[in-house]
Amino acid sequence: MAKKFSLIIHGGAGALEQIKREGNEADYMESIRGILESGRSILATGGTALEAVEHCAMKLEDDPLYNAGRGSVLNEYGEVEMDAAIMDGKTFEAGSVAGITSIKNPTVLARQVLEKSEHVMLIGKGAHEFAKFCGLPRMGNDYFVVDTRIRQWREAQKMGGMMLDHEAAKPSQKLGTIGAVAQDCAGNLAAATSTGGIVNKRWGRVGDSPIVGAGVFADNETCGVSATGYGEQFQRTVLCKMIADFVYFQDMDAQAAAKAGIDYLVRKVQGLGGVIVIDRTGSCAVGHSTSGMIYGQIERGGETLCKLA
């Protein structure tokens, strides 16, 4: 019997009550479902997990609903500054980029780092030079900036500080960091994470999303993980690798490992955020310490499930 594929994606974790009050839930569910189905087409026809997570992350980056690619939050200068990473669980190869200001799809650039460079992470000017070498399209700031982000940035400036993409001085719609994890029909795992970071961020701040082991991780022997939340907390706990260790050392399945990881995050640093996980058997799981998370999954080739909960 042919092995089934699994796919799970997320659009961020946080306080989602405002979405439900304003009746915007259908927009997110339609987006998540459409992206999952396009990922299904790749995996069902023999595509690799790496291809699937790059594709899904790219589609999430293109959707202004989320804090990644177009629709990213603004830094202290009113500009978009993005981070992304991708990892192959078969080879342990990884690529990541940080401080990207004009690349349409940071995850695509991260994939190029994985495949065409001897490095894992490229940042800032060097990353843009590499993108030019790879022939990737560059976009002006106007492409990335959407009205909701401008209002959110102004609120953060009035408050005099930084805030997560799902926070606001007043309740507003939830917009979040994105991620994707897949297991293909050959049993290979891959994961990708992409973000615009924290609203009004300063001093070249980089969160967990482009850090292998913190915001993303994939290993065929254990699981694939993508995270979202306060990046500093995920960096200090190396949370995605911690979840993989729960699978490796304690033989936990995806759900148990996701729960154990979030419990650890809260116990150690009172962490806020969430994770999506696919383990080596193809089981999908979600864990979060926030009041809600946006995600969808296809487990072992089954039905498409989307949730805002």
CATH of the domain at 66: 3.60.20.30
- Tell me, what's the pLDDT at 1? 37
123 belongs to a structural domain? no
Residues in the chain: 309
- Tell me, what's the pLDDT at 135? 96
257 belongs to a structural domain? yes
Across the 309 residues of the chain, what is the mean pLDDT of every consecutive 10-residue run? 84 78 84 98 98 98 94 89 97 97 97 97 97 94 86 75 48 65 98 93 91 98 96 96 98 98 98 96 96 95 93
- Tell me, what's the pLDDT at 154? 81
163 belongs to a structural domain? yes
126 belongs to a structural domain? no
Half-sphere exposure of 288 (CA within 13 A, CB side): 24
Range of the domain at 44: 6-77+85-93+145-308
Dist CA 130 CA 109 (whole Å): 8
User: Can you state the angle between helices 49-62 and 25-44, rounded to 10 degrees?
Assistant: 150
Number of domains, the chain: 1
- Tell me, what's the pLDDT at 167? 45
219 belongs to a structural domain? yes
- Tell me, what's the pLDDT at 214? 98
Please name the residue ranges forming H helices in the chain.
17-22, 25-44, 49-62, 106-116, 124-134, 141-144, 147-159, 231-237, 239-250, 254-269
- Tell me, what's the pLDDT at 166? 46
Half-sphere exposure of 47 (CA within 13 A, CB side): 20
The per-residue b/e assignment along 221-256, b for 16 or more CB within 10 angstroms, e otherwise, is: ebbbbbbbbbbbbbbebbbbbbbbbbbbeeebbbeb
Q: Tell me which residues are annotated as active site.
A: 177
- Tell me, what's the pLDDT at 309? 78
212 belongs to a structural domain? yes
> Looking at this protein, which amino acid is placed at residue 291?
S
